[in-house]
Amino acid sequence: MRLGTLLLSAPLILLAANSALAAPASCYDWIVRDKLRGGYLAAGAPRSAAADMKAIGMNAVLPKFGGLTCPPDERNLALLREWGEATQKVGMYLLPVFNFRGGETEKILSARREVTSGGQRMAKTPCPLDEQFWQAYILGRAVDLAGRAKELHLAGAIIDTEMYGADHSLFSGACYCDDCLREFFAASGQAAPQPLPAPEARMAWLKEHQLSGPFEQWFVGRVKGLCVQIETTVHERNPDFVLGVLNLDIPLPFMRGMAQGLGTETHPLLGFSETTYPSGYTDYVDKQQQTFAAFPAQVLFVPGLWLAKFPSENIAEQCYACAQHSHGYWIYTFESLVEGARKRPGYALREPNERYWAAMKQANAELDQLVAAGGKYESVLRVRPYDPSLPALVAGDLKCEPLAPVIEAQPLALGPEAQPRLRYRNPLYLLCKGGESVEVNVANCQLNPNCRDGSQYAVFDLEGHRLLEGVMKVRESAVAKWTPDRDGQYVLLADSSLNGYQLQVVTKQPFAFRLTRKMPLTVQGILGRVFFYVPAGVDTFSLFFKATRQAAGRGGKLVVYSPDGQVAARLAGDLGTPTELPVTVPAGMQKRVWALTGEDITNDLTVWFSDNMPGYVGTDPARLLTDAKFVP
């Protein structure tokens, strides 16, 4: 994806954004005047980051508290106090982030659960209208933090609506549970049908009776009502407390209700976008503010930038443009700039940290000029075309035990099968001999026309030394080719960001992928067939599956074959929560090679073994590696 050049001399847009609201309270002065310039990072990150941010012209710290209770436990209270002291010392604003439904911290207190439009009851997801849940976790924490704001030096708090501990990350529509339907009919003055339609038929029933539109409107209104209570109670407790929400711009009924309920003219809601993570500033930023106004909703929009998605040379213009056309910008994740992060997968940046620091400092200096000129400043910065940065490949965590090839006298003959289409980080281990050439074909797999991410690969020895690397564009292939100077294990890492990729070992070396709880295999749409070794002494084992963004009820169809070609276990259907497939090992089938096949995988599927198994699979039974201690 390449973005066209845009001139950033549009003060009228800036003035329009600021004039759409009627005199926000004075606690918003710094945002309306200077723009929010924030950095998101884990609450456990070094508190010295506040001073580092201040030094380059930023003004807000957004630390994520994943396990924040109400009231905060001693550990989180200490962290809040330390962040408060660190930000107050340098003149920064502190906006801690807490989860809507992260995990056990937000344990569901009632029997009420979300029922999707397809009729599925989500065991780990609260009904979005469960008042007991809202009271305990959203209202409770917001009011508690508002009451502690002076003590802890808090400017406000932000709700992260992505549900890490639920069956899916966001409420994709209205809820069709029994309680929601009965409440809808009661509110509309109609008698509920007796009995209620079956869960899977409710959406169609409402549509047939021309009630689907009114039902969604009622749902939005109920979410709004819950949020109005939060906004009112929080600002009765502390009128100088600012509220914000992550992902507010995702076009879903739940978000619309939050936007309308949590923002007022005097206390507008901060709407933090993740949609802008990979794209930065486009006209979406301007259009989304018009969308909020049309709801109507009182929202100060703050686009987010995923630091690792941009070349450092494009960061300054992106920060400036986002802030100029909205009410600020926020960086995900500032941990990428914290000491030691370069060794951590998912946090490392492709370029030296100093370049990113310098770019943000330049952006903030230009924003200072914009503020000083009352919005009538023409910056030297321009949004230029760029190719999205690929994630930095690091191998510091890829140490593994000695591996050995598996010798199978009678390999399974199940016919040809497609290569797995991989996604994200799936290390490929190879056992190589010094002086023998190694070739691995790396192919980029475009997942949809809007995904323009290319692929990259790198080869490391097990001491972490990078031996070679390569980059290719979308839909391209390349051959990773090298000749080791010594016998040993090597690892190839590949990544295609939002796209997929396939790896095929062309030469004769044995190889395997990891398949453990800590390092599972992730495939996108295609698993094909993989082989694995069951060692002596294993009478039973399990495979675990977790589908992400699956089609309703269709995570995949999985079949395990024993070495004699017989079906040992099978699993199909909804894999939206981690699902165990237990397998019994028949007599005589230990110390043999087994197979796993997958079909009808509708999106991402993550797979791992139980802890009593060697955690390795390969696509060729004649070249399979496994943990050497299990091989006779």
Residue 430 pLDDT more than 80?
yes
Residue 107 pLDDT more than 90?
no
Strands (E), 12-55: 36-42
Residue pair 569/597 in contact (Cβ under 8 Å)? The answer is: no
Residue 299 pLDDT more than 90?
yes
Residue pair 39/331 in contact (Cβ under 8 Å)? The answer is: yes
pLDDT bracket for residue 20 (50, 70, 90): very low
pLDDT at position 340: 63
**Which helix (H) or strand (E) segment is 567 a member of?**
strand 567-573
Percent over 70 (pLDDT), the chain:
96
Most confident range, picked from 13-27, 288-302, 413-427, 440-454: 288-302
Joined together, the tokens standing for residue 535 give 């060692």
Q: Does domain 403-630 have CATH number 2.60.120.380?
A: yes
Largest CA distance in the chain: 81
pLDDT at position 15: 37
pLDDT at position 412: 84
Which range (268-272, 451-455, 523-527, 555-559) has the least confidence? Answer: 451-455
Residue 21 pLDDT more than 60?
no
Residue pair 335/347 in contact (Cβ under 8 Å)? The answer is: yes
pLDDT bracket for residue 22 (50, 70, 90): low
Interatomic CA distance for residues 349 and 341, integer angstroms: 9
Mean predicted confidence (pLDDT) in 446-455 = 86
pLDDT at position 2: 39
Across all residues in the chain, what is the average pLDDT? 92
pLDDT at position 121: 93
pLDDT bracket for residue 343 (50, 70, 90): low
Q: Mutual orientation of helices 212-237 and 140-152 as an angle, nearest 10°?
A: 30
Q: What residues pair up with 580 in beta bridges, in sequence order? A: 544
Mean predicted confidence (pLDDT) in 39-53 = 96
* Topology at the third CATH level for domain 11-372: TIM Barrel (3.20.20)
Tens-digit pLDDT profile for residues 559-569:
999 999 999 99
Residue 342 pLDDT more than 80?
no
Percent over 90 (pLDDT), the chain:
80
Secondary structure (H, E, C), 91-115: CCEECCEEECCCCHHHCCCCCCEEE
Mean predicted confidence (pLDDT) in 118-128 = 93
Give the burial string for 472-511 (b: 16+ CB within 10 Å, else e): bebeeebebeeebeeeebbbbbbbbbbbbbbbbbeeebbb
61 Cβ neighbours under 8 A, 6+ residues apart: 38, 39, 41, 49, 50, 53, 83, 86, 87, 92, 93, 94, 95
**SS3 label, residue 369:** helix
Residue 507 pLDDT more than 80?
yes
Residue pair 145/154 in contact (Cβ under 8 Å)? The answer is: yes
pLDDT bracket for residue 387 (50, 70, 90): confident
pLDDT bracket for residue 397 (50, 70, 90): confident
Joined together, the tokens standing for residue 312 give 């450092």
CA angle at 301 for the pair 299 and 302, rounded to the nearest 5°: 145
Per DSSP, 129 falls in state T
Interatomic CA distance for residues 483 and 548, integer angstroms: 38
Residue 18 pLDDT more than 50?
no
Please tell me if the domain spanning 11-372 has the same topology as the one spanning 403-630. no
Interatomic CA distance for residues 297 and 248, integer angstroms: 11
Per DSSP, 81 falls in state H
* Domain assignments of the chain as residue spans, ordered by start: 11-372, 403-630
Give the burial string for 256-282 (b: 16+ CB within 10 Å, else e): bbbbbbbbbebbbbbbbbbbbbbbbbb
pLDDT at position 10: 37
Interatomic CA distance for residues 301 and 286, integer angstroms: 9
Residue pair 527/420 in contact (Cβ under 8 Å)? The answer is: yes
CA distances from 207 to 72, 118, 471 (A): 45, 13, 50
Q: Mutual orientation of helices 74-90 and 140-152 as an angle, nearest 10°?
A: 50
Give the HSE-up count for residue 350: Cα atoms under 13 Å, Cβ half-sphere: 18
Interatomic CA distance for residues 27 and 269, integer angstroms: 12
Q: How many other CB atoms are found less than 10 A from the CB of residue 569?
A: 17
Joined together, the tokens standing for residue 70 give 């109400």
Residue 134 pLDDT more than 70?
yes
pLDDT at position 12: 34
Considering just the CA atoms, what is the radius of gyration of the chain in Å? 27
pLDDT at position 172: 86
pLDDT at position 60: 99
pLDDT bracket for residue 216 (50, 70, 90): very high
- Strands 455-461 vs 36-42: parallel, antiparallel or unpaired: unpaired
pLDDT bracket for residue 347 (50, 70, 90): confident
For the chain, report the end-to-end CA distance as a whole number of angstroms.
51
Cis peptide before 579 (omega within 30 of 0): no
More confident residue, 390 or 366: 366
Residue 153 pLDDT more than 80?
yes
Q: Which has the closest alpha carbon to 499: 466, 522, 532?
A: 522
pLDDT at position 389: 81
Q: What residues pair up with 584 in beta bridges, in sequence order? A: 540
Give the burial string for 424-457 (b: 16+ CB within 10 Å, else e): bbbbbbbbbeeeeebebebbbbbbeeebbbbbbb
Query: How are strands ordered across the β-sheet holding 604-609?
Result: 521-524, 604-609, 540-548, 579-584
pLDDT at position 413: 80
pLDDT bracket for residue 150 (50, 70, 90): very high
Tens-digit pLDDT profile for residues 170-213:
898 999 999 999 999 999 999 999 999 999 999 999 999 999 99
